[in-house]
C-alpha cells in the first residue's frame, strides 16, 4: 500500500491510504518512502538447535536471523537435545525467547517421548488437562511435529493425531519415512533420488489418510515431489483441513545445483533438491493454490557437519529474496500473493487471528522491504551461525530492511 499506518501500543490503530489525513502528532515517524510495508513474515518451520547444538545455532542467533529475514513469528521444530517433547519444555523455551524480545517464538512439541516413536509425548498430559483443569500444564502448542522422524507405528501415530485433534492444534508431517517399500529400495542399492521419492510419496499418502481418519488439521511440510503435489491437491478436495508448505530452496533449485554443491555434503537437504519437473510442479502448486504457505525449513549447520553430510540449509535470511526473485520477478505470483504465502496463510494455519495482514486492530508486526534491491547472497554476513546457504554467491532481488514487532512500537509509518 501507499499511505500511512498508525501504530499505538503495538497494535495497528489506523490504516490511512495516500491522500488521507495523517495524525498531527506521533512519538516517532518512520519514513518508508519508496519501500513497501508488508505484514512481518511467519515461519511455520525452522530449526533453532536450542537446546543442544550451540555450534550450529542458538536461540539468540536464530532469532536475530529471523528478524533480519523479516520474520516476527516463528515455529521452531522439536529436534533439539533433549527433544522438545513436553508442553513445559516448549513453554520454557518460549519464555527464554520472550526475554530476548526479538521474535514471537512458538516451539512445536514432538508427538512421542524423546522422539523415539514408542509412547506419546506430553501431548497425553495435555489431554489430561482438558479433563482436569486443576493440573498446571501450559496451553497446547500451536503445532505438533515429530520432525523428520515421523511416527512409524500406525496405531501410535493415529493416537497422536487424535490427541492433536482434541487439543485443536495442527500436526506438521515431514513425510520422510516411506515404510517397507522405501526401505527395500534403499537396501537394494537404488540411488537416493529413487528411494527418497518413494519415502516422501508413501509418507504423504499415509499422513493424509491417517490425519483424515483422526479428524485433525494436517499440515504437510516441505513438499518436493510432483506426485505429492498431486496427492495434496486431491486430498484438499475431500478434506479442507489438509494444508502444505514449500520451501524457497525447492522452489528455486533442482538436483543440478545439489550436484554442483556436493549432493552428499553442501547440497544435501531433506527432502532432496529434485528434478526440474518436480520444481515446476511446486511452482505450479504455488500459482494454483495447492501450496498454502512458504516455510524456510531453516536448518543451520556448522561447516564441518555440512561437509560430513548434515542435511539442510540456513534459510531465514534469504527466503524473501529468493521467493521475490523466483516467484514475483518471474511473474508466477504478485507481491501481494507472496506476502500472503509468507504471512496470512501461516497465521491461518496456526490459528493466529491477531496477525498476518495489515489491518486495524491487529498486531503491528511489520516489515519494510525493497523489492527492487539487487544483492549477492553472502553467508558470512548472516546473523545465523549456519552459513550453509545453497544460494551463496547468487544474485537475488528483494531485501528485507527492517522488521518491527508489536511490543516495542509507538510510531507512525509513512
Ligand atoms: O534437511 C533438513 N534438515 N530437513 C529437515 O527437515 C530437518 C533439517 C535438520 O534438522 O537439519
d(CA 146, CA 347): 21
Q: Residue 414: is its pLDDT beyond 50?
A: no
CB-defined site of ligand 1, < 6 Å: 47, 79, 148, 174, 269-270, 297, 299, 311-312
d(CA 41, CA 70): 6
Residue 270 CA: which ligand 1 atom is closest? 1
Report how far ligand 1's centroid is from the alpha carbon of 307 (Å).
15
Supply the residue whose CA is at minimum distance from atom 10 of ligand 1.
Answer: 299
Average pLDDT, the chain: 94
CATH fold of 38-352: TIM Barrel (3.20.20)
CA 199 to chain CA centroid, Å, is: 21
What are the tens digits of pLDDT across the range 94-120?
Answer: 999 999 999 999 999 999 999 999 999
226-238 and 192-214 helices cross at what angle (nearest 10)?
A: 10
What are the tens digits of pLDDT across the range 23-42?
Answer: 878 888 888 889 999 999 99
Residue 313 CA: which ligand 1 atom is closest? 1
Which of 43, 50, 278, 297 is catalytic? The answer is 297
Cis peptide before 68 (omega within 30 of 0): no
Determine whether 297 is an active site residue: yes
Q: Residue 83: is its pLDDT beyond 60?
A: yes
Report how far ligand 1's centroid is from the alpha carbon of 309 (Å).
11
**Contacts of residue 251, Cβ cutoff 8 Å, sequence gap at least 6:** 279, 282, 283, 286, 294, 322, 323, 326, 327
- Which whole-number Å values give the CA distances from 357 to 46, 177, 353, 408, in the listed order? 21, 35, 10, 19
d(CA 67, CA 383): 9
| Of residues 407 and 9, more confidently modeled | 9
What are the tens digits of pLDDT across the range 195-217?
Answer: 999 999 999 999 999 999 999 99
Supply the residue whose CA is at minimum distance from atom 9 of ligand 1.
Answer: 299
Q: Residue 413: is its pLDDT beyond 90?
A: no
- Which of 56, 83, 148, 177 best tests ligand 1's pocket when mutated (most atoms within 8 Å of CB)? 148
The whole-number average pLDDT for the span 113-131 is 87
Position 20 scores a pLDDT of: 83
Supply the residue whose CA is at minimum distance from atom 5 of ligand 1.
Answer: 270
What one-character-per-residue DSSP string does 71-91 give? EEEEEE-S-SSS---SHHHHH
Position 207 scores a pLDDT of: 97
d(CA 343, CA 15): 18
d(CA 253, CA 265): 16
Amino acid at each position: 500500500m501507499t499511505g500511512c499506518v498508525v501504530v499505538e501500543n503495538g497494535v495497528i490503530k489506523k490504516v490511512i491510504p495516500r491522500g488521507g489525513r495523517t495524525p498531527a502528532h506521533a512519538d516517532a515517524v518512520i519514513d518508508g518512502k519508496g519501500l513497501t510495508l508488508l505484514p512481518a513474515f511467519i515461519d511455520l518451520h525452522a530449526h533453532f538447535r536450542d537446546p543442544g547444538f550451540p555450534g550450529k545455532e542458538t536461540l539468540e542467533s536464530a532469532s536475530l536471523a529471523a528478524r533480519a529475514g523479516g520474520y516476527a513469528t516463528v515455529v521452531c521444530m522439536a529436534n533439539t537435545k533433549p527433544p522438545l517433547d513436553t508442553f513445559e519444555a516448549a513453554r520454557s523455551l518460549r519464555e527464554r525467547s520472550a526475554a530476548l524480545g526479538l521474535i514471537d517464538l512458538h516451539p512445536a512439541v514432538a508427538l512421542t517421548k524423546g522422539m523415539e516413536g514408542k509412547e506419546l509425548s506430553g501431548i497425553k498430559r495435555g489431554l489430561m488437562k482438558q479433563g482436569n483443569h486443576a493440573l498446571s500444564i501450559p496451553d497446547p502448542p500451536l503445532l505438533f511435529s515429530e520432525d523428520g522422524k515421523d511416527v512409524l507405528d500406525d496405531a501410535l501415530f493415529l493416537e497422536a493425531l487424535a490427541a492433536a485433534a482434541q487439543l485443536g492444534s495442527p500436526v506438521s508431517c515431514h513425510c520422510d519415512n516411506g515404510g517397507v517399500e522405501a526401505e527395500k529400495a534403499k537396501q537394494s542399492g537404488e540411488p537416493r533420488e529413487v528411494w527418497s521419492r518413494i519415502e516422501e510419496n508413501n509418507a504423504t499418502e499415509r499422513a493424509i489418510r491417517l490425519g483424515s481418519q483422526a479428524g485433525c488439521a494436517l499440515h504437510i511440510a516441505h513438499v518436493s515431489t510432483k506426485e505429492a503435489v498431486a496427492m495434496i491437491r486431491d486430498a484438499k478436495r475431500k478434506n479442507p483441513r489438509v494444508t502444505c508448505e514449500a520451501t524457497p530452496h525447492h522452489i528455486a533449485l533442482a538436483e543440478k545445483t545439489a550436484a554442483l554443491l556436493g549432493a552428499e555434503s553442501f547440497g544435501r537437504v531433506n527432502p532432496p533438491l529434485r528434478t526440474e519437473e518436480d520444481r515446476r510442479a511446486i511452482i505450479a502448486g504455488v500459482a494454483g493454490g495447492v501450496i498454502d504457505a512458504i516455510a524456510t525449513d531453516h536448518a543451520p549447520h556448522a561447516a564441518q557437519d555440512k561437509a560430513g553430510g548434515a542435511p539442510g540449509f540456513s534459510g531465514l535470511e534469504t527466503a524473501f529474496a529468493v521467493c521475490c526473485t523466483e516467484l514475483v520477478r518471474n511473474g508466477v505470483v504478485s507481491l501481494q500473493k507472496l506476502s500472503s504465502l509468507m504471512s496470512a496463510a501461516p497465521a491461518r494455519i496456526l490459528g493466529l487471528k491477531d496477525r498476518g495482514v495489515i489491518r486495524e486492530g491487529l498486531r503491528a508486526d511489520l516489515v519494510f522491504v525493497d523489492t527492487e534491491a539487487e544483492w549477492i547472497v553472502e553467508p558470512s554476513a548472516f546473523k545465523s551461525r549456519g552459513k550453509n546457504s545453497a544460494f551463496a554467491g547468487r544474485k537475488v532481488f528483494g531485501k528485507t530492511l527492517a522488521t518491527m514487532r508489536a511490543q516495542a512500537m509507538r510510531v507512525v509509518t509513512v
